[in-house]
Amino acid sequence: MIRKNFNNAKRIVIKVGTSTLTHENGQLNLYRIERIIREISDLHNRDIEVLLVTSGAIGVGSTRMGLKKIPRTIPEKQALAAIGQGALLHLYEKIFAEYGKTVAQVLLTREDMDERIRYLNATNALLAIINMNVIPIINENDTVAVDEIKFGDNDTLSAMVATIVNADLLMILSDVDGLYDSDPRVNKEAKLLNEVNEITVNMEESSKTRGTKFSSGGMLTKLKAANICMAAGVPMVIANSEIENVIFKIINGDSLGTVFVPKEEKMHARKKWIAFASVTHGKVIVDEGAEQALLKKGKSLLPSGIKEVEGDFERGMIVAVCSTKGYEIARGMVNYNAFQIKKIAGKKTSEIEKMLGEKDYDEVIHRNNLWIKN
């Protein structure tokens, strides 16, 4: 079993949700926060590198302002995040310091992942913090994020962090025991899944629930995080934060929660960015021949296989590659902009220079810059 390898993990990402940090009324659950920090500090004392991804800034801000639930508008959420982030970090700093640990706040937005240079800068900054023997405390920068650049939840953010730092394990600690074969709130006979090797459509359909009134997640966001981790070669565990010594027990291989088993083949760092970190800026629709060449033969995308182009994107941006049936089969970095690809779509590579007046590449997307969606 994969769990027996967790004791050898050298770099772990731990994500705690709002439901873990707070009581049902939105007030901070100080006992649970202190217990988790104590466990993380002890892991750190064993020379295990730990990165903590935390939710709760907006929830803490809401409670500070006496609100019964989180408002809907982005400006109000941003204001509450500004109030809550400082309070939350101060609490982390205070308790971690009692165990002799130094922490660093890292706030990320989707934009930091969308551009390759900023993605590398974020990666290098996290690794530098770790190398200084400091524990990064990571959150989405809700104070400046808007819908277009939000990760949307810290489950996804934690998966992104785990992939970019090549973590050995991602733990998502929440108020649920793990993934069930059906919704346990509806079906009392629902069974907890100990191990998952593939996320099915049925799993996603039966997991479309939100978290608490102070949180943004739910099981569906955790499955999205698991998809990222499994594809990138990082094992992930969902477990209940109420369990005493839950972090130690997971590390020791106890059969807690649900473990998502990753693919054996680790993904190259560049393809991780293409697959998960970047936002797609448009679409190219390919014919069946091109689809088979990409999926079965590991070929690059040539202009002859392109039928349609959607969106207005520039050279070097990431676009989705879709079949004629409409589903995404891959995504990659284009060598030409949208206008140029429209002109050469369906043409042979020998015709590119004639159509554009120049030819820098034979391929619209080279296979080295292409991620195939499994």
How far apart, in Å, are the Cα atoms of 121 and each of 48, 127, 132, 219, 371? 23, 10, 17, 31, 22
User: How many Cα atoms occupy the beta-carbon half-sphere of 265 within 13 Å?
Assistant: 4
Please give the Cα distance from 154 to 216 (Å, whole number): 8
> What is the CA 262 to chain-centroid distance, rounded?
14
Task: Return binding residues for substrate.
Answer: 55, 142, 154
Phi/psi-derived region of residue 253, left when phi > 0, alpha when psi is between -120 and 50, beta in every other case: left
How many CB atoms lie under 10 A from the CB of residue 371? 23
* Closest of 347, 274, 359, 338 to residue 306, by C-alpha: 347
Task: Return binding residues for ATP.
Answer: 15, 174-175, 216-222
Please give the Cα distance from 216 to 18 (Å, whole number): 8
Phi, psi of 328 (to 5 degrees): -80, 130
How many CB atoms lie under 10 A from the CB of residue 367? 16
How far apart, in Å, are the Cα atoms of 142 and each of 32, 153, 193, 327? 24, 10, 33, 31
Please give the Cα distance from 341 to 356 (Å, whole number): 10
Sheet with 370-372, side-by-side order of all strands: 306-310, 283-286, 318-322, 328-333, 370-372
Task: Return binding residues.
Answer: 15, 55, 142, 154, 174-175, 216-222
Please give the Cα distance from 28 to 80 (Å, whole number): 15
Looking at residue 168, the DSSP 8-state letter turns out to be S
Contacts of 347 (CB under 8 A, 6+ apart): 303, 304, 355
